[in-house]
Structure 1
Amino acid sequence: MTPDRSSQDSGGEPLARSVMIAGEMLNWSDLHPEDGAPATGGPIPSSLLDAVLRPDHKVLVAGPHSLDVLALIAGRVTSVDVLVRSAPDAEEIADQLESDPVRVFCGSLDHFGPEHGEPQYDVVVALDGLPRLVGPDTLVLSWADALAALKSRLAPQGQLLIAAANPFGIERLVLPGVSNTVPSDEAWPRDIRGSLEAPAGLKAVQAALGDSGTAYAVYPSLVEAKVAVVDASNSLAGVVAARSVAELYPDMTLMDPYRVVQDAFAAGLGAELAPGWYFAVGSTDLPGVLGEVPEGPGVLLEEILLAALKIDDHAALRRTVPDYVAWLRSLDVAALASPDNVLVDGTAYRLFGESEPVDGSGDALVVAQLARFVRRSMEFASREPWAGSVHDVTARLASMAGITVTEELWASVADGNEPVAPTGYAEQQATIVRLSEELADASAQASWFESQLDGIRRSRPYRIGQAVLNPARVVVKRVRRTTGR
């Protein structure tokens, strides 16, 4: 049992508010890491817990979870036991949740025996995964052994909520393979027999868990989850996932993370390439989506326009652009209605969610929204039927809606003249190839025109014309000198 928090020792000093069980880390924090990932928290794990927890549940929380998540659990159930490896974290948790039914145990999972906590729990929560359940003194503890230790504390109808990182997630496709940073403090060497990394691949983890349960694909990472989906073919969830990954990796990457995630969902690989997974073993009737994902049908307008550009479908562009512009002019929030934030369902349009507003009004706002799409398409290095700058392509699209992009109008478009920087190295290479091809085509055309002009100059009609016109030019020049005109 946890010592009474109000008691004092013989010297008048307060007793520890958590139970040390061995394997604890005295000078370490997972709640406030100086060089490592933060504790799991945020709205996504909270939503999952909301769907699972019942007032009569006895819960074990294993591993670092944010104070907000712990407070949510403590406010929903009968009793909570928390197991963390960090001594400062254990004291902080006990202090912050002092008035709640919470007991805190500090140490490693291999020392958390039957004498600690409850013999059986209705729910075991390990949404941070298993690697941070041990310290550097734990030599031999495999992922399977750690999983078995947690399952052994479950009641017969108990539920296990556990996370697993994907060793071949989407970040492997978008980040450089060679890191320019030294390993973090928490990446200390461990016994080769004691790896707490989950098995590689979604199917391997599901097989190890031994229960189909419910599996969520989590984006953009386990500790910064923005969306979790059961059905990874959900295209709208794919848009949210793509945005979250793009926000997580704003600097130059191997490939544009937004397009990679979008393509992964479109190809049915959104679950297999997720950065991590949540597994709800023994749970049923859970929501299919965790996170702010719009409901209902629809496709991003940006995807429709990109598809039309890709196959030179000018007829589709001439239908879509005027319809979009007419709808845009009718909106009070047109500044938010960029093609990457508008859903199309047949002839109906609606906003997808929040977006960075575009400056302008009237024709200037329309041109700014079209220019935003053109810039994004060039950042993606998508195929386009027209060569030229952002201004040139935007002017072509605007003309389909009856708008002439004058120099004055273009000058009023925010960032309209900013050069396009491809998002990833692959897109950069594709852009270089495209520009090289355009330059080669322009050079070939110039050479052809020069050869045609040279042939004309050598032709007999041209030479006769020059012979006839030259004397006339001499006479005209003399008359002008004489008359002073």
Structure 2
Amino acid sequence: MIQMIGGEMPDWVEDRLPVGGALFEYIAGLVPAGARVLVAGPHDDGLIDALAARTRLTVLVRSQPRAIELDTRGLSVLCGTLAKVTDTDRYDIVVALDGVRRLCSVEGPQLDWVESLQSLHKTLRPGGTLLLAVENELGAHRLVDPSSATAAQGDGDWLPLGEFDTKPGNPTRLAERLVTEGLAVDWLGTLWPFPAAPTLIATPSALRNGPVDALAAATAGAVGRAYANREVLSDPRRLAAAAVRGGLGAELAAGWLVVAHRAPRPMATLNLPAVLFGDGPVVELAADETGTWVRRLVREDPDRETTAATGPLPAGRLLEELLLTACLRHDLPLVRRLLAGWMTALPRSAADNVVVHGDAYAVLDPTVPAQGDVLRQFAHTLLGGGYAHPWPAATDVATLTSLLHGAAGQPGVIADISPAEDEPLPDSRREHDEQLRALRRQVADAASRAQWFEREIERRDRELRKLRLQTAAFSGTVGFRAAKISYGVARKVRNRLRKGLS
């Protein structure tokens, strides 16, 4: 059933994908059965189906074609703008994982973030729970994005406020704003790599006090897969990992997911772990009684191998970061030791999915499928990222791959792989600029050498001309001619004496 509440957009189709993904669907599956739920904004069909199967669901959308589509599936739909929603009907749980940006229409008032939060607050029953996602305008995804958040990137951006909006800019201020509006925060997590489809959700406490190296590696891996073949200002993997290790993971996350309830006490409690990650199978990460961080598979994927997903989280630094550091320092002994240990222990796991602790090598995410020539992937990372390495003469992936195989103690036959099969990397402008700077340095060095050779040739030409002038000057004097005649006579006498003696 569709209820037109006012402000509906008859011919409007959202120009951006709805929010969704494995993690959001898993969280939706934790909603108590039988609860009265309002889903506000465009959400993925899988997420809506997961909620509709266990709750009394109502969906709020501004697009009339989308409302008609949901109605044909037997769902209760409110079609219109958020400003027209009244507090007549209240809900046990309000789900706004898309945030509040796409809840207002051009047919009604344009609410800012605080006003939208107040409108959602009114739809909650006393003790009702709000699931709200908030995009971070200063997140890593914004810092590497070539486009501006204050310029329209699509038809739906008729108010591209960007960082000038009224929404909070960090988790602390977000929690304070919710408390100010009468909502108590039950749980807050950071979203990586995108707020619309996260593959890693971690609480700020876990990022600060948990297994920092492993979480930095997991964050870098999630961001790297999301930005493969996408144009960025700089490599987001390095930025994300450095932010987590530097204690700024919560502040530079792509967004935040908050679970809050209206006073006096929550009617339903969502028990969310400290860390969730996965893009198909979902794995939760939490500390056990002994303080050891343990992985536990909470959602399976029939297309992925998940038998090794449960167990203690391996400690250590990401192998790719250690190798890049050793290459930048031209530390060949360390490079050889890391490559040899890697190929001996885990020859089918990529460097961005292996952690090293001492001499032990372990897989970070066991749900990632086995790879082909992982040394070729690392060679592609070295060259594509513009990193300095101990083999500057190797300017193509095939040559560098053969050198890496030799350094790893495996100089055998290397598989012939076309460049199209290489693992895609973020298309980083900064790394491109670094490659150009390196080429300019090489050209400048070659030009300097060429100029030195030219100066040396000119100097020797001057010396040669001087010698020729001296020779010409001496050859025209009487003394030179007399000496020449005397030398000729002496040579004839010598020759006759030799003949006589013989």
Give the TM-score normalised by structure 2.
0.70
**Residue of structure 2 in register with 1:238 after alignment:** 219
Distance in structure 2 (CA, Å) of the matches to 1:260 and 1:142: 30
Report what 1:38 is aligned to: 17
Separation in 2, partners of 1:410, 1:457:
51
Aligned residue for 1:435?
A: 439
Match for residue 326 of structure 2 among 297, 305, 308: 308
Shift of 1:423: 3.2
Q: Contact 1:422/1:431 (CA < 8 Å) preserved in 2?
A: no
Indicate yes or no: 2:398 matched with 1:425. no
Query: Is the contact made by 1:245 and 1:257 (CA closer than 8 Å) also made in structure 2?
Result: no
Deviation sequence 1:107-131 (CA, Å, 0-9, x none): 222221133x34xx22111111112
- Structure 1 equivalent of residue 35 of structure 2: 57
2:252 corresponds to which letter in structure 1?
A: L
Residue equivalent to 2:306: none
What CA distance in whole angstroms lies between the structure 1 residues aligned with 2:198 and 2:141?
A: 14
- Matched ranges for 1:94-173 at <5 A: 94-96=71-73, 98=74, 102-115=75-88, 117-118=89-90, 121-139=91-109, 141-173=111-143
Partner of 1:263 in structure 2? 242
Which of 271, 274, 280 pairs up with 2:253? Answer: 274
Aligned-partner residue type, residue 434 of structure 1: A
Question: RMSD of aligned C-alpha atoms?
Answer: 3.7
CA–CA separation in structure 1 for the residues paired with 2:326 and 2:368: 25
Return the alpha-carbon distance in structure 2 between the equivalents of residues 188 and 415 of structure 1: 41
1:304 partner letter: L
Deviation per CA, 1:168-213: give whole Å up to 9, x if none.
Answer: 222332222469x9642212359x9xx9763334433222112443
Looking at structure 2, the residues matched to 243 and 388 of structure 1 have their Cα atoms a distance apart, in angstroms, of 27
Cα distance in 1 for residues equivalent to 2:380 and 2:243? 22
Is residue 2:352 matched to residue 1:375? no
1:385–1:444 distance in 2 versus 1, CA, 3 Å = farther
Tell me the distance in 2 between the aligned counterparts of 1:422 and 1:208. 36
Q: Offset of 1:446 from its aligned partner?
A: 7.1
User: How far 1:165 moved relative to its partner?
Assistant: 1.6
Match of residue 405, structure 2, among 398, 403, 426 = 398
Assess if the C-alpha contact under 8 Å between 1:123 and 1:160 holds in 2. Answer: yes
Cα distance 1:241–1:403, how it changes in 2: closer, same or farther (>3 A)?
Answer: closer
Distance 1:451 1:356, change over 3 A: farther
Give secondary structure in 1 for the equivalent of 2:393: coil
Are the structure 2 counterparts of residues 164 and 75 from structure 1 closer, same or farther at C-alpha, using a change threshold of 3 Å? same
CA distance in 1, matches of 2:68, 2:388: 57
Corresponding letter in the other structure for 1:176: P
Residue 24 in structure 1 maps to residue 2 in structure 2:
no
Please tell me whether the aligned partners of residues 190 and 255 of structure 2 are also in contact (alpha carbons under 8 angstroms): yes
Query: Residue type of the partner of 2:94?
Result: V
Q: 1:88 aligns with which of 65, 68, 75?
A: 65
Tell me, yes or no, if the aligned pair for 2:5 and 2:85 is still in contact at 8 Å: yes
- Unaligned stretches of 5+ in structure 1? 1-16, 329-333, 359-367, 464-485
The offset of 1:59, in angstroms, is 1.6
* Counterpart residue number, 2:368: 354
Q: Find out whether 1:66 has 2:39 as its counterpart.
A: no
Gaps of 5+ in 2: 262-268, 286-294, 296-312, 468-502
Query: Structure 1's 433 and 370: CA in aligned 2 closer, same or farther, altered over 3 A?
Result: same
2:364 maps to 1:388:
no
Q: Distance in 2 between matches of 1:425 and 1:177?
A: 13
Give 1:161 deviation, angstroms.
Answer: 0.2
Query: 1:21, 1:106 within 8 Å by CA — same for their partners in 2?
Result: yes
Q: Is 2:195 the partner of 1:222?
A: yes
Distance change >3 Å, CA 433–CA 122, structure 1 → 2: same
Contact 2:330 2:390 in 1 (8 A): yes
**Mapped partners of 2:35, 2:165: distance in 1:** 28
AA of the residue aligned to 2:136: N
Map Cα deviations across residues 322-347 of structure 1 (whole Å, 9 max, x no partner): 2222235xxxxx4x423233333433
| Residues 18, 161 of structure 1: alpha-carbon distance in 2 compared, 3 angstrom cutoff | same
Asked whether the 8 Å contact 2:136–2:255 carries over to 1, the reply is yes
Equivalences, count: 405
SS in 1 for 2:340: helix
Mark the CA change 1:147 to 1:401 in structure 2 (over 3 Å): closer, same or farther.
closer
SS at match of 1:274: coil
Residues 276 and 22 of structure 1, relative CA distance in 2, 3 Å threshold = same
AA in 1 matched with 2:218: A
Corresponding residue number in structure 1 for 2:300? none
Task: Show the counterpart of 1:206.
Answer: 175
SS of residue paired to 1:213? strand
Check the 8 A contact 2:131/2:260 in 1, yes or no.
yes
After the TM superposition, which parts of structure 1 deviate over 6 Å for at least 4 consecutive aligned residues? 445-459
Change in Cα spacing, 1:356 to 1:450, as seen in structure 2 (3 Å) is farther
Q: Summarize the Cα distance change of 1:154–1:355 in structure 2 as closer, same or farther, 3 Å threshold.
A: same
Q: Secondary structure at the match of 1:221?
A: coil
After TM superposition, give the deviation of residue 22 of structure 1 in Å. Answer: 1.6
Residue 131 of structure 1: SS of its match in structure 2? coil
What CA distance in whole angstroms lies between the structure 2 residues aligned with 1:197 and 1:439?
Answer: 50
- CA change 1:189–1:338 in 2 (3 A) is closer
Note if contact 1:371-1:416 (Cα within 8 Å) is conserved in structure 2.
Answer: no
1:162 alignment partner AA: L
* Equivalent residues of 1:131, 1:197 under 8 A apart: no
Distance 2:34 2:431 in 1: 54
Counterpart residue number, 1:14: none
Match of 1:466 in 2: none
**SS of structure 1 residue aligned to 2:227:** helix
Q: Per the alignment, do residues 62 and 187 of structure 1 end up closer, same or farther by CA in structure 2, a change over 3 Å counting?
A: same
